[in-house]
Each structure stands twice: as structure tokens, then as C-alpha cells.
Chains A and B, each alone.
Chain A
């Protein structure tokens, strides 16, 4: 069973008499213990989708099934209890300004009826894990942005929830803090076993932490699946990846002078990425291989590589046959 399933979700806002459809037929499912990214450009509906997942936003229609329970049909009393098993980290952190760091972190425990002493002890423990011990008695207005964010993460995970929802956790951070927060997200996921859903417009964040990605465009979900599949499709579809399209048109100009050259785009994924596949597939085949562009990136589950090569002469066809069996995805373009 999946931890979270979203079925045929529709959300619209009534804005000055007009109805604006913000989410159109969204289907989504998230495995226990995985990290799912919700990506898309500004205004695509990412935050709205995230808010719908614990019903801070009520959908017009559709179902949100959390841990086997359709939360759109349960009483508000039951919903309240269920929400305690989902931590939310808002983009603007939303800390309680009248409470100290310690009290902010302990708050969800107190709400859940845990005795004060025990709540404070647990809050201290989480604060230590997130390196906030020296700021326990400070008020939110006295903290840096990064510290406020860690408090809001501490507050979300202190109850040991099944799932946390993060809205744009890196948009206000510099590269160093971004790396730190991404490591923290992965640690929360692996050590506490908490399922994570993270909204971001930064594809780099998706590459580094997400198992799966749901990509939204104008309220519609145009992709939902494993991260490497998304980027592989993205790389191979010229219309979507401007960077790859530019590489290709340059390569075509460069190779135009050599006759009978074939242009090949390759996607590597996992261990194969670092193996000498070109060499292996071409051995004994007298093929001229011309490497034009290549890149390897570190994804959550290992390296992901893209390569653009020209191939000509000898048994090019046989070489391409071998190659297609050994790479993740391949596309041959005639000049």
C-alpha cells in the first residue's frame, strides 16, 4: 500500500466572480519512505497541491488517501488527529513569535497532549540534532533565516510524523546552506524513516534528493515518475530542454562537413555511467567516435550521464546496435 495517493484532484479559486482552475486532474502516489519532488515554474500550482495534501486547501473534487484513509471524507475531529502525523515546513517558516525556540519546537507535542516535561525533553533532543542548542531561549525575531528554517524543520519532525511537506526549502538560502538543508532532508528521510514531499522550482534540488518527481505545468501534471526518467526524457526531447537543443544544433554545424556521420545522444544511469561503454561497444569495429558534449551529475541514486557523440565509418550500424543494449536511453539523429 502507498503512503499517499491522490486521485482525480481538481482545485479552483473563485476570484472576483471568476473561477480559476489551479489544479486539473492530478493523480499521484507516494511510497512509504520515499522523497517526492513537486516541481514546476512559478504559478504552476505547486503550493496549492501541497496545501491540498493535508486539506489546508479543500479540493473541488477528487480524493486524498493518506495511509489508507480518504481524508476528504473524514470528520474535522479525525482530520485534526491525522494532521498530527504530517509535519509541514512552510516557505515563510511561520514560527510563533511569542514563543522561544524551545517552546516552538515543543508546541506540536503539547498540542498532542504530551506532558510538558517530556515535551521539553524531546524538543531539546531534536534541537541538538539540528544544532540549535545554543539558541533555545531566543525568540524567532532574533534568529537568522537559516536558523528559523531549522527550527521549523525541528518543529515538523519532533512528533515523529509519517510524512513531512516542505515548500521551497532552499529558495531563500545560499549554496552552502542549500547543501546543508538538502543533506538534512536526506538524513531525516533515511534515519527517521519519514516520507518527504518537497516543493521546489529548482531542478538541482530534485536531482540531489528526490526519488520521484511530479512536474506541474499550468495546473496539469505533465510527468510523474522516477527522477532519472524525467531527466532522461527531458534531455531527449529537444523542445523542452533548451540547453540540449543548443548543443545539438551546434554539433550539427560542426559535423556537417564530415559526410556520413551519425549523431547519437545517449543517457547513462546508475553504475553503467562510469563504465567504458563506448570502448567496449566499438572494439573490433573500426568506428570513428567523436565525443562532442558530455556530462555526469550526481543524483540521489547514483550518477546520471548524458553524452552527445558523432559516429562514422566501419560498422557504425553494428556499433549502434551494441550501444543501444548497453545504455539507458539512446537516440540516433541523421545529419
Chain B
């Protein structure tokens, strides 16, 4: 029993962190673009289009998104089951989510601080890299922990359709064989993972918030 639980835990962690990193790497620039278009006078129409797209993606329930993505997943991952296929699904679902979180975090930058950077003649690149992101860094850390915790849940859902990991373990043993102890261990491990992520996120954000 123990080797199976360990294997499932490693699979879950693998799916959570790889899709987490991918979602941050893609979602953060998306959020920066959303912010940039929303404050720009000329490009607000682009913002409206992106805004609607993000909302549509976010309102599709994850399990349905997996179904809709099946043809694409097969193309991208070569298969529709297993951790790698799940990572693709998880990333597609999490990118718009993290993009929105990032946009909200960037909106906490006071207008005056942005003005004073403009008054110093910063370029767009300098503004993003030296002012916008560093000034809102604690918020991004908290967002990353929210994202990862959401991915814990999503990973378990993906387990129901063959992704592997703790979710699938719990369903296979609990739902089909009534071995409730396996379900219990899975839940405990999932809760622990979430707690650690949350604690770390809060701690780091607090240190960064001066």
C-alpha cells in the first residue's frame, strides 16, 4: 500500500508544481498585458476582448474543459491520460486564472507611484521590471500560493479521468473498492500539501512587505 501512496503523492506534486510553474510563466505576462491595456488610452478595446476571453475560460468547469480539450491534449501530449496530459489541461485552466490574479495585484500599485516613475522617464520595460512587479511582489507571492492550492484541487479532479496522482488513488480505492483508509490518507496528504504552500506563501509575502 505504502509504495502506491508514495507514487501517487510524487505524481500529484509533479503535476501541481510543473503546471504551477508553467501557469505562472505564462499567466504573469498575460496579467501584465491585461494591466497595460487596461490603463492605456488607445488600447482599451484590446483589453475588452482579452477581458471577455479570460472570463469565458474561467467560467468553464474544469472537468468540462478537460473533455473539450481532448483533441488538443492528444496532439500536445500524445495521450489523454497520465500526468503529462493532465499538466496540459491544468495549465490551460490556470493561465487565465493566474493572469487575472496578476492583473488585480498590479492594480494595487498606487497611481501616484506609477506617475512618479513616468515623470522620471522610464521606458515600458523599465517600468514593468523595476517598478510594477517589484512594488507588488508580495501580492504575486500570495497569488502563487492561491494558484498552487487551486491546482491541488484541480489535480484531484483530473485524477477522476485518469491523470494519476492522489485523486485517482482515492477514486480507485475508495469509490470502486470501498477502502476508505486509502481515501483518508490521500485527503490528509492533500491537506498537508495545501497547508505548507499557504504557510510558505504567507511567510514570504510578510517578509517582502516592508
List the interface of chain A (C-beta within 8 A of B). 51, 54, 56, 79-84, 86, 88, 90, 92, 94-99, 107-108, 110-112, 139-142
Contact = CB atoms under 8 A, between A and B. Distances in A.
B134 interface: yes
Interface string B104-118: 000000101101101
21 contacts: A56-B118, A79-B121, A80-B122, A80-B123, A81-B121, A82-B121, A83-B119, A83-B120, A83-B121, A84-B120, A88-B116, A88-B119, A94-B116, A96-B131, A96-B135, A98-B134, A107-B120, A107-B130, A108-B120, A111-B126, A140-B210
Contacts, number: 58
A54 B120 CA distance: 10
Contacts of A97: 113, 135, 210
A97 B108 CA distance: 13
B134 A86 contact: no
B112 A92 contact: yes
A110 B131 CA distance: 12
B121 A111 contact: yes
Nearest to A138: B210
A51 B131 CA distance: 20
Interface in B125-143: 126, 130-131, 134-135, 137
Interface residues of B, number: 19
A80 B117 CA distance: 11
B123 to A, nearest CB: 7
B121 A80 contact: yes
A141 B126 CA distance: 23
A54 B119 contact: yes
B135 A98 contact: yes
Contacts of A88: 116, 119
Interface of B: 110, 112-113, 115-116, 118-123, 126, 130-131, 134-135, 137, 208, 210
Contacts of A99: 134
B108 to A, nearest CB: 11
Interface centre among B121, B130, B131 (most CB of A within 10 A): B121
A56 B118 CA distance: 8
A140 B120 CA distance: 18
A83 B123 CA distance: 11
Interface centre among A98, A110, A111 (most CB of B within 10 A): A98
Contacts of B210: 97-98, 139-142
Contacts of A54: 119
Contacts of B137: 98
Contact of B113 (A56, A80, A81, A94): A94
Contacts of B122: 80, 111
Nearest to B111: A94
A6 B24 CA distance: 47
A56 B134 CA distance: 22
Contacts of B110: 94
Given A99-B134, A110-B130, A111-B126, A94 B112 contact: yes
A107 B135 CA distance: 13
Contacts of B112: 90, 92, 94
A225 B113 CA distance: 33
A98 B113 CA distance: 11
B119 A111 contact: no
A141 to B, nearest CB: 6
A81 B130 CA distance: 17
Given A83-B120, A97-B135, 6 more contacts: A56-B118, A90-B116, A94-B113, A107-B120, A111-B122, A142-B210
Contacts of A80: 121-123
Contacts of A82: 121
Contacts of A139: 210
Interface centre among A82, A97, A142 (most CB of B within 10 A): A97
B115 A56 contact: yes
Nearest to A141: B210
A231 to B, nearest CB: 32
A81 B134 CA distance: 23
A240 to B, nearest CB: 34
Contacts of B121: 79-84, 111-112
A74 B134 CA distance: 30
Nearest to A86: B119
Contacts of B119: 54, 56, 83, 86, 88
A111 B124 CA distance: 11
Contacts of A110: 130
A139 B207 CA distance: 13
Contacts of B208: 98
Nearest to B134: A98
Nearest to B114: A94
A94 B130 contact: no
A323 to B, nearest CB: 50
Nearest to A108: B120
Nearest to B120: A108
